[in-house]
């Protein structure tokens, strides 16, 4: 964990930076993915990124992207203390918190 907790404006800028990095990582591996982000704080969670892959995505692709996002998210947590959760789903799954994906990032 980081030794110093950044001020609120600094923390927000840091959060934006790392959320953008995770979105770009997802889009780099699957340009057709739809990405949605929730910034609603829940317990220690700073943000939650939902990545929806096309219907024809294979399980291996879902697992590979999920692992890449998780590894980077853990690195961000250890380096900054920001807890950014990520989840990778098939487009048909949608999310109970945000519903079916829409066109987006």
Cβ contacts of residue 92 below 8 Å, gap of 6+? Answer: 55
Check residue 98 and give its pLDDT: 52
Q: Vertex 93, ends 46 and 33: CA angle to 5°?
A: 70
Query: What is the value of pTM for the model shown?
Result: 0.81
The CATH architecture assigned to 8-93 reads 2-Layer Sandwich (3.30)
Rounded (10°) angle between helices 59-80 and 8-29? 160
* CA–CA separation, 62 and 87 (whole Å): 10
Cβ contacts of residue 57 below 8 Å, gap of 6+? Answer: 30, 90
Q: What is the pLDDT along the chain (105 residues), one digit of tens a residue?
A: 454 556 667 889 999 999 999 999 999 999 999 999 998 877 889 999 999 999 888 899 899 999 999 999 999 999 999 999 999 998 877 654 555 554 444
């Amino acid at each position: 964990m980081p030794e110093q907790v950044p001020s609120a404006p600094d923390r927000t800028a840091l959060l934006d930076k790392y959320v953008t990095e995770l979105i770009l990582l997802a889009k780099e591996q699957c340009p057709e993915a739809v990405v949605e982000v929730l910034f609603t704080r829940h317990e220690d969670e700073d943000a939650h990124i939902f990545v929806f892959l096309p219907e024809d995505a294979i399980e291996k692709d879902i697992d590979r992207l999920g692992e890449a996002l998780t590894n980077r998210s853990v690195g961000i947590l250890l380096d900054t203390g920001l807890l950014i959760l990520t989840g990778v789903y098939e487009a048909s799954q949608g999310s109970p918190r945000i519903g079916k994906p829409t066109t987006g990032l």
